[in-house]
Structure 1
């Protein structure tokens, strides 16, 4: 585990109910937990939109890892567009 950082800072809650955590945290998303009245635990978080959640499933992660591994060991080469057009016209599959 990482080092434990224990800093205490006194902040005031403004009339609009807001508290500033500092500009260095601007734009971040956080989870705010209330384990008991008067106690807040604020943790930075990364939120995944519902329509992108499928990308984080074990099966997709496995496929992506395999694709990345293939891409790292397989050198890029130019595509012969005339062969690709001919294969498409004749309905043949090209070799991987």
Structure 2
């Protein structure tokens, strides 16, 4: 495929690539290698860990099989305090 670089320095790759991110490598003068890529922000990279992916998948599966239940925030606070007291006395 032959493409022309426009006056603004841009090349159109086609609408099928619209909005995609690409890596552009220049291994030699006048040689470009363009690859589609998924860029993962540093603060989200931990989600790419296979063990984390597995835990998230299990959590999603659990949530899909269990309906939400009403809870009383005051009871949750009391329960948390009880757990802390037991941990300190142990």
Q: Quick check: TM above 0.5?
A: yes
Q: Return the offset for 1:42.
A: 2.9
How many pairs align? 84
- Bigger CA drift: 80-89 or 51-60? 80-89
1:51 aligns with 2:37: no
Q: Return the offset for 1:36.
A: 7.1
The structure in which a higher percent of residues are helix is 2
**Equivalent residues in 2 for 1:20-31 (5 A)?**
20-22=12-14, 25-31=17-23
Residue 88 of structure 2: aligned partner: none
1:64 aligns with 2:64: no
Q: Write the distance in 1 (CA, Å) between the matches of 2:5 and 2:74.
A: 68
Q: Return the offset for 1:21.
A: 2.6
Residue 3 of structure 1: aligned partner: none
Q: Return the offset for 1:13.
A: 0.8
Gaps of 5+ in 2: 85-90
* TM-score normalised according to structure 1 size: 0.62
